[in-house]
A and B are shown apart, each in its own frame.
Chain A
Amino acid sequence: MHFPDTPDFSLIHAPDRVVVRRHGGEMTGHDLLRAAYRVADLLPDAPVVPVCLDVGHFIVLLLATLLRGRHVLLSSDRTATRLAALAAEHGAVCVGFADDLPDGEHPAHMLVLPPPDGSGVGCPKNPAIDGERLVAIVFTSGSTGQPVAHTKRWGALVVRSIVARVLLDPVEQASTLVGTVPPYHMYGFETLVLQAIHTRCAVASGPAFYPSDWRKMLEFSPAPRVLVTTPLQLRLLLGAELSCPAIARIISAAAPLGETLARQAEDRLGAPVMEIYGATEIGSVAMRRTTAGPGWELYDTVELAQDGDDATIAAPGAPAYPLSDLVEKDGPRHFRLIGRRNDMVKLAAKRASLSALNTALTALPGVEDGAFLPPEGDAESAFARMRVFVVAPALSAEAVIAGLRGRIDPAFLPRGVVFVDALPRNGVGKLTVQALRQFAARLAQGKEIGTAVIPASHPCLAGHFPGRPVVPGVVLLEEGLALAGLCPTRIEQVKFLRPVSPDETVTFFAKHEAARIRLSAYVQGQVVLRAVIGHGPQP
């Protein structure tokens, strides 16, 4: 066990060290405390909703709030109206810094402070915080669509930071954590903010939106560097093909990481990819190297109890948490994930209840019936969005989306609205995700328009691939166009996906869209051709 007998409950662990690194500068624990005392003098006696983007500023504001005897409220929904409502509901105040305000609309009644100032010398008082002190309330969306509050207390957070650090930063020298994630959900809060103040790790601070921003932070951070990211951002970083300084370790959470992506990241970035398992309710509790297999290892001090399908996580100072995933224990310290047991959907590090989303959809005027279809798969389709299927004869797609905006988190706004006559509900009116997915697949295929067989005697086959005749793609395409009644002026795209032999029955489907027709052909259920035919005016 690496767990120390007496954890350090000071506001900042070992304040002599560098805690925050930024382009052209760094802040020690003493600098942060000086800045925090100055900010604390300007704060009202109320809980704080931080509005700053910069991790270093966030840390100063958190320390100042704790020095003021108060706690922070964290919401991953960053819209101005949501933040203002959160502050109003909890008698809190939204606080930002003048040099670090988000784009667009700001929450009403926001307190804007001058940029944090850590200048000066000496060692400001670094008080120990009581382990039972409320430090943060983190909000998640609940199954009713209403946010649910999760309270976080200092002692439990300190202990978890210490046991997590051993796995996040296992090399001899202390690491700098370079985050692509914001500090406003539990993953970023624990892995960037709390790691930096509770353990030996430093954190890089700066704009963190684009892959080129992440590279800049890696460049100004000394080795060893630990990249704290998500599957979606990891895919973007690889896609951007930037050359980055050496990374010692990559940490991923917020969504399941595909093994293919994990392997690519390990090959390209030359570092092991570790995945964190956790939930806002309980925080990070287990880790695995994605490429090493499906087994998760529990953090020290964290216990998993399993009773049939029910599993509960317990950790010092935190309320016991019944897992929303189905798990299978594998010895006392390991488990495997089997599947999800509720209807929670995760997208872009946000989560929502499918039934709450469906309730919002069917509550819209003009929608007779409707359902959300979550994207399939995990990291490989990290960009995939929700689609909705609606029975709403009088509405347009824009009207459906406009109706949902403001009622649901923007991450779950559908990218596609499909109008149908009826949903594939079963005898008792229940609609399963599986039934909807099959329904969607049939719709996507379009309407069957006919079949064709190219006989072995067809003149096109003479001289083609002697001994193993294959129907030329152009002949297939011609058959499909004839069945669709099309005389195209514009073939936008055509792909021949597998060879078709003479005498095989080819089934054609056509799907009409605004300015094009999607043509597909199948042999024994396998797609052999996909084409996009323009039928609008030539651009």
Chain B
Amino acid sequence: MNTHLSDPSQTPFEREIAERLVDVLQLEIAPEEIDPLAPLFVEGLGLDSIDALEVALMISRAYGVTLSSDDPNSRDIFASLRALATHVTVMRPAG
């Protein structure tokens, strides 16, 4: 879990997810340039709901974490790279 909620530099795991985001969404930005605290949607990277679905598929394949609208915090998962990485870290199956 992240203990440095306002640290603007990427953790190694955030960097890993950032690389996957850039790859799967064909973003014209280098992974290291994604601000871990900036919103992923609209104002930040400008992603939309189709991107969210694509990211959800990537997350389930890479980490075995299935996103669902019934998750209590489903509205916050895409708040930022850090929120996404934290959610995956928490929900990831052990081992």
Contact = CB atoms under 8 A, between A and B. Distances in A.
Contacts, number: 66
Given A383-B50, A539-B15, A539-B32, A212 B67 contact: yes
B68 interface: yes
A376 B52 CA distance: 22
B56 interface: yes
Contact of A240 (B32, B48, B49, B57): B57
A381 to B, nearest CB: 11
A212 B53 CA distance: 11
Contact of A415 (B26, B57, B60): B26
Contacts of B53: 209-211, 232-233, 236
Interface of A: 103, 207-213, 216, 232-233, 236, 239-240, 242, 348, 383, 385, 397, 401, 405, 410-411, 413, 415-417, 514-515, 536, 539
B61 interface: yes
A242 B60 CA distance: 10
B69 A415 contact: no
Given A415-B26, A515-B30, A539-B32, A405 B69 contact: no
Nearest to A53: B69
B15 to A, nearest CB: 7
A240 B60 contact: yes
Nearest to B70: A207
A240 B32 CA distance: 28
Interface residues of B, number: 27
Nearest to A415: B26
B79 to A, nearest CB: 11
Nearest to A180: B53
B75 interface: yes
Most buried by A among B28, B30, B54, B61: B28
Contacts of B11: none
B69 A213 contact: yes
Nearest to A208: B69
Given A207-B69, A405-B46, A239 B27 contact: no
A316 B16 CA distance: 57
Interface in B33-89: 33, 42, 46, 48-50, 52-54, 56-57, 60-61, 66-70, 75
B67 A416 contact: no
A239 B61 contact: yes
A232 B49 CA distance: 12
A413 B49 CA distance: 13
21 contacts: A103-B75, A207-B69, A207-B70, A208-B69, A209-B52, A210-B56, A210-B66, A210-B68, A213-B69, A216-B68, A233-B53, A239-B61, A397-B28, A405-B46, A410-B42, A410-B48, A413-B48, A415-B26, A415-B27, A514-B33, A515-B32
Nearest to B32: A539
Nearest to B50: A348
A11 B57 CA distance: 40
Contacts of B32: 515, 539
Contacts of A413: 46, 48
